[in-house]
Structure 1
Amino acid sequence: MIRCIRIWTNDTGNSSFEEGSLSLGQGKPGDLIGATIAASSVSFRETQPDQALEWHDAPTYQLVLTLGGTLEFKTRDGGTFVIRPGDVLLAEDTKGTGHVWRIIGEEPWRRAYVILPQGADVGFTAKR
């Protein structure tokens, strides 16, 4: 199972989030594979510890793959969640009041941005 947090803009214009996972239904026992997802680009970024980004929307529909570092995200309604290495963020909140994040700890945040076609199915399943 790959942990995934989906963040989107709700009906009131604020960002909301839910925890879930990415489907890995193909393959064989011990080596599960997710469906292929079309992507228009992939880029990498590193941000040093003690950094934060104030209120903003996701610039586009994207997956953010955290390779290193730990972050805390916050929404306008006060909800928070933590992203750790190996987690995936499905960023759909491209409009509205947005979210903030801050790096927790001494490790830089290393990540890959995977830009997706709008509405691409990434196999997200919400945690029940």
Structure 2
Amino acid sequence: MKPIHYFYTKAFSDFSSRMQFIGLTSALLMSTHPEIYVMLFFLGRQIGGMIISYLAGIVADRYSKRRTMIISELASGIAVLSLLFIEHPMFIVIAAFILGITYTFFDVSFRSSIPIMFGEE
């Protein structure tokens, strides 16, 4: 049986999350009422993560952690790319809600796969 090696790029995920945050908040700061939209951006991201956190734990336990991380990264990329077509600040807030959900799925799956990658001890 051949060994299978996986290359996890957690640093790329963290970097892309920070770049998404910088890019989206700077786009919101150029809107007509930036204080309202930035507040909704932060609330949307946090509420999205809090609502889905229980489900993310269940998914991480029952399904492939690697596949969950890949799907969540693809979904966050699609959410950000969808902003190319609709430029309204409220759509950026909706995308932030989706990014909160996908980041929670990725983070829970990654943290639960650490003992598998490096051993229980």
State the TM-score, normalized to the length of structure 1: 0.25
Larger radius of gyration: 2
Q: Higher strand share goes to which structure?
A: 1
Q: Higher helix share goes to which structure?
A: 2
